[in-house]
Amino acid sequence: MVTDKARIVLTRNTHRYWCVMRILICVISLTAGCTTVIQQPNSITADTDLIWPDPPAEQRLAFVMSISGAEDLGIRKRFLQQLREFVSGPRQERLIRPMAVVESGSDRLFVADPGARGVHLFDLGKRQYRLIQGENGESLPSPVGLAAGLSGETYVVDSLLAEIYIIESGATEAKRVPLQALLSQPTGLAFHRPSGRIFVVDTGSHEVKVFSRDGKLLRRIGGRGTAPGKFNYPTMIWMSYGGELLVSDTLNFRTQVFDVEGNFLRQFGSPGDRAGFQSQSKGIASDAHGNVYIVDSMQHAVQIFDSSGRFLYRLGLRGESVGEFWLPSGIFIGERETIYVADSYNSRIQVFRYTGGSSQ
């Protein structure tokens, strides 16, 4: 008969055996994986075989890569992380429903993802990945807008919580920005570097609210209406290189342009479901050459205009292949003329590079 003491010793030895086996399996899998050579993302060049618009028109965009998770950027899990996941199960490191994307700081890419209830941080310099949520592990149920700050910080807006959060450089969580005015349904964000002002598209109140970095309300732009300077469910906003504010006035089916003081400058766009028309504009951005990029979710495309609103060409149709989209939302253009598009329902970020000259 096995005594209680012998049974305890046997149980302990069995537990130790399986712990050792798990560690050995992890080590073996790591050793095997280390032989794989992964190309560095910064060394990837545009694919000149995948270009837009179609010839014989002058080439202006080329495909670079598609990002669905950390592995696509050459970011590998560390040993301790693999060990923990072997015991407790894998963590979600893939995009689910990306809505916005931004470069912030040195070699850092942030992706707002309501499906993951947080913001993905891909640190290309440190070769690290992290899912950032609120303080004490609070989920962010609807992060939909992002903006890079002045000193490496990143701002994120959650439309369901109606809050703005700040992710400080090197931080592991997002902290609420104390605001002196209530938000209804915030969606888009832009940051003005010279003044440090934060511009927030509040879809529910049909206006753009302007805050200081400490949350003081400085100005309101808009209000509901169809006249120039008024909005009907606006969604996204972009600060151009020239210091102009571009706003997707979504259900007025147009784009409006303001100066940084909120003065109306011009508008373009009209309703329609064909190229050159705006059916459901969301993400908006501009490049250093004056081109304006508008993500039209219902057309499953990115439409490109010149600075005066003249239609140039479009990128995309509905689909899953390269250069195709399914209900895309956000867009960001980096300093190296890299264009990131949040291809929301394809669960990926598609990356392109501007290769053409000025449209002026």
Which tens digit of pLDDT belongs to each residue from 20-42?
445 444 443 433 333 223 334 44
Q: Are residues 97 and 245 in the same domain?
A: yes
Q: Are residues 66 and 189 in the same domain?
A: yes
Residue 65 tokens, joined: 């890569």
Query: Secondary structure of the chain: what % helix, strand, coil (to 5)?
Result: 15, 40, 45
User: Which residues sit opposite 294 in a β-bridge?
Assistant: 284, 303
* pLDDT value at 186 more than 50: yes
Question: Across residues 75-101, what is the average pLDDT?
Answer: 66
98 upstream amide cis, omega within 30 of 0: no
Question: Across residues 38-62, what is the average pLDDT?
Answer: 71
Q: Look at residue 176 and tell me if it is in a domain.
A: yes
Q: Are residues 14 and 78 in the same domain?
A: no
Percent above pLDDT 90 for the chain: 72
CB of 102 within 8 A of CB of 147? Answer: yes
Q: Are residues 19 and 78 in the same domain?
A: no
In total, how many domains does the chain have? Answer: 2
d(CA 324, CA 328): 10
Return mean pLDDT, the chain.
86
The whole-number pLDDT of residue 48 equals 56
Q: Are residues 247 and 348 in the same domain?
A: yes
d(CA 286, CA 333): 7
Q: Look at residue 109 and tell me if it is in a domain.
A: yes
Q: Look at residue 117 and tell me if it is in a domain.
A: yes
Q: Are residues 5 and 72 in the same domain?
A: no
The DSSP line for 120-156 is: EEEETTTTEEEEE-BGGG---S-EEEEEE-SSS-EEE
Question: Across residues 112-116, what is the average pLDDT?
Answer: 98
The whole-number pLDDT of residue 93 equals 80
Q: Are residues 5 and 115 in the same domain?
A: no
Q: Look at residue 64 and tell me if it is in a domain.
A: yes
* pLDDT value at 193 more than 90: yes
Q: Are residues 271 and 311 in the same domain?
A: yes
CATH of residue 50: 2.120.10.30
The whole-number pLDDT of residue 40 equals 41
Q: Which domain holds residue 12?
A: 1-36
Q: Are residues 31 and 155 in the same domain?
A: no
Looking at per-residue confidence, does 24 or 63 come out higher?
A: 63
CB of 242 within 8 A of CB of 289? Answer: no
* pLDDT value at 223 more than 60: yes
* pLDDT value at 249 more than 90: yes
Residue 68: exposure state from Cβ atoms within 10 A (0-12, 13-18, ≥19): middle
Which tens digit of pLDDT belongs to each residue from 299-336?
999 999 999 999 999 999 999 999 999 999 999 999 88
Q: Look at residue 41 and tell me if it is in a domain.
A: no
Q: Look at residue 215 and tell me if it is in a domain.
A: yes
Q: Are residues 287 and 229 in the same domain?
A: yes
Question: Across residues 276-297, what is the average pLDDT?
Answer: 96
Q: Are residues 146 and 253 in the same domain?
A: yes
Give 49's pLDDT tier (boundaries 50, 70, 90): confident
From the CB of residue 330, how many other CB atoms can be counted at a distance below 10 Å?
29
Triad 242, 248, 254: Cα angle to 5°: 105
